[in-house]
Amino acid sequence: MISATGVGWKVGGAQILHDVSLTVGTGELLGIIGPNGAGKSSLVNILSGVTRPSSGRITVQDRDVTRSSATARARMGLARSFQTSALFDGLTAGENVRLAVQAAGPAPFSPFRAAGPASGRRVDDLLARVRMPGRGATLARDLSHGDRRKLELAMALASSPSTLLLDEPMAGVSAEDVDGLTEIIGEVRDSGVAVAMVEHHMHVVLGLADRVAVLHHGELLAVGAPAEVTSDERVQQAYLGEAL
Ligand SMILES: Nc1ncnc2c1ncn2[C@@H]1O[C@H](COP(=O)(O)OP(=O)(O)OP(=O)(O)O)[C@@H](O)[C@H]1O
Ligand SMILES: [Mg+2]
């Protein structure tokens, strides 16, 4: 569904990514791990079109999108979440999701257009899908951190994406919410979505991912099944035996 081939990114004289190649297929979850500053978020930005790579190419469903905007890629079925929360705090959970549903709809986007009953049902479906039924009327700013991350997921799912890029969807959430988010993201993958997920919770990545890619100093150290990757000597050295 999405692939990077020989991607490099140089900014301000520093080479942040070197020759990164990876693919994520339909119904597959690729975990992207690596120490702080390894280039994980930079890679997600390049895959989603927020940043242009200095070299290499990106394809979405075999179409070259290297020069396409993030908006164009979103129309091709790509959705993403950000490492830090991106919600409208003064709106309710339901209103946040409704904006995402409307933005994903065929009509030109207008937040002032009245929401039809179909969009209301879609909002309810999305909130149920992230285990937040009945939270629709709660202001986003009053939600727990875990619920905020679930809400972001609901918003990313509003466009019915075929590819979903998640940058640390579980950062800073409670153990209970980690379990909930793990289940939800697993269900998204099982529904046939190609998922690439950056995550520091190692037990989650190793348990959930079909394949794991390890970035270190902007280079891909290893890609493979979780057990293969964790037994790789170079990977163990990169982590100094810590997280693994
Ligand atoms: N716009 C930029 N300009 C200059 N340097 C950047 C820019 N964006 C990222 N970097 C640098 O690139 C490197 C990789 O950053 P990136 O955010 O991709 O890492 P990461 O693997 O996501 O780290 P973390 O686990 O902390 O989220 C870091 O050294 C960072 O300082
Ligand atoms: Mg990051």
Q: Encode pLDDT of 134-181 as tens digits.
A: 999 999 999 999 999 999 999 999 999 999 999 999 998 999 999 999
Query: How many angstroms separate the Cα of 122 from the Cα of each of 51, 82, 160?
Result: 31, 23, 11
- The answer to whether position 207 is within a domain reads yes
Q: Is the CB of 38 under 6 A from ligand 1?
A: yes
Q: Is the CB of 146 under 6 A from ligand 1?
A: no
- d(Cα 223, Cα 228) in Å, to the nearest integer? 8
- The answer to whether position 136 is within a domain reads no
- Expressed as residue numbers, the domain containing 42 is 1-75+198-244
- Other beta carbons less than 10 A from residue 185's beta carbon: 23
- The answer to whether position 13 is within a domain reads yes
- The answer to whether position 52 is within a domain reads yes
- The answer to whether position 234 is within a domain reads yes
Distance (Å) from CA 12 to ligand 1 centroid: 12
- Which residue type is seen at 63? R
Domain tally for the chain?
1
- Other beta carbons less than 10 A from residue 112's beta carbon: 5
Nearest alpha carbon to residue 11 among 45, 47, 62: 45
- The answer to whether position 142 is within a domain reads no
Q: Is the pLDDT of residue 212 over 90?
A: yes
Q: Is the pLDDT of residue 112 over 70?
A: no
Of the pLDDT bands very low, low, confident and very high (cuts 50, 70, 90), residue 238 is confident
The residue nearest atom 31 of ligand 1, judged by CA position, is 37
At 48, list the tokens: 């989603």
Mean pLDDT, rounded, for 193-209: 95
Share of the chain above pLDDT 70, in %: 91
Distance (Å) from CA 58 to ligand 1 centroid: 19
Tell me the whole-structure pTM to 2 decimals.
0.92
- The answer to whether position 84 is within a domain reads no
Q: Which ligand is nearest to the CA of 243?
A: 1
Ligand 1: residue of 15, 36, 41, 166 to mutate (most ligand atoms within 8 A of CB) is: 41
- The answer to whether position 109 is within a domain reads no
Distance (Å) from CA 42 to ligand 2 centroid: 7
At residue 206's C-alpha, the angle toward residues 80 and 160, to 5°, is 25
